[in-house]
Amino acid sequence: MASSHRKPRSAGSRIAGIWTPADDGGPRLGEVEKKIDDLYRRADSAAERGDGARRAWKINSARKKPSSFTATPHDHYDQAQLMSRLTAGRKDAVAAHLTKRSTTTGIRQQAAMSLRAPDGTQSDPRTAKATVQKKLSAARALLSQSAARTGRQEAAALARQAVAFARAQVGKPYVWGAAGPGSYDCSGLTQAAWKAAGVTLPRATTAQASAGTTIPLADAQPGDLVFFHDDSSHVGVYVGDGMMIHAPKPGTGVREESIHYGGTSAIHSVVRPA
């Protein structure tokens, strides 16, 4: 091989990792071969590998004649072109590395910024506590509103059941002290109506007047109880539109009529049982 023709290493300079000739002699053949082979292994593109294969043929020819390793103008052109390509490749690799590192750094910075709350909750425990308390208060308010809405819906459903029951009793006779199912007095009817909805009311009229929430007459809704006279001695089931169902007095039957049948002054109060 070329080892018998090697000379001591001469002074020179490096270009892209290859020794260039110095003033006192040419490059060592084995060193040039090693560097070129290494550069071939680093080539990535198919075109460059193809070019490398053609140049490898020339190098193999040179290996057979190490003593005649004299660079021709054409060989200088090929080597210069190879080094230019590989140098460009290295530049691209470095640029890609720097770009990747810059991108990674940017992502890390963005992640850090995203973790830093704009209101300073990450750095100020007092602010963080206040923020949490504010959110908890808002959540409790929402739950309260939801519960209230659900409660109103359930109460309305119960009221509809009470009204439906009362309406089904229309025409049945009034009998003092009766609570159904064949006859009713006023408080017996209201008690039975709300019992059908699952709500237990006292038997006496005056007791029923305290068995719920008192509301303004203008806010009366179906199912509410309307009481009459100063002593709340009479009661009917409000069904809407100023109408009620009640058992008025002996000799009459359960019927539906205006809450103003005895005059507006006769109305004492309105109570919502549910």
Is residue 29 within 8 A of residue 5, CB to CB? The reply is yes
Q: Which residues pair with 267 in a beta bridge?
A: 228
The type of residue at 252 is T
Question: What's the rounded Cα separation, in Å, for the pair 61 and 10?
Answer: 24
Question: What's the rounded Cα separation, in Å, for the pair 41 and 49?
Answer: 9
Active site residues: 186, 234, 246
Query: In 10 A of CB 106, how many CB atoms?
Result: 10
Helix (H) or strand (E) holding 238: strand 234-240
Helix ranges (DSSP H) in the chain: 29-42, 46-64, 73-115, 125-168, 186-196, 205-208
Question: What's the rounded Cα separation, in Å, for the pair 144 and 140?
Answer: 6
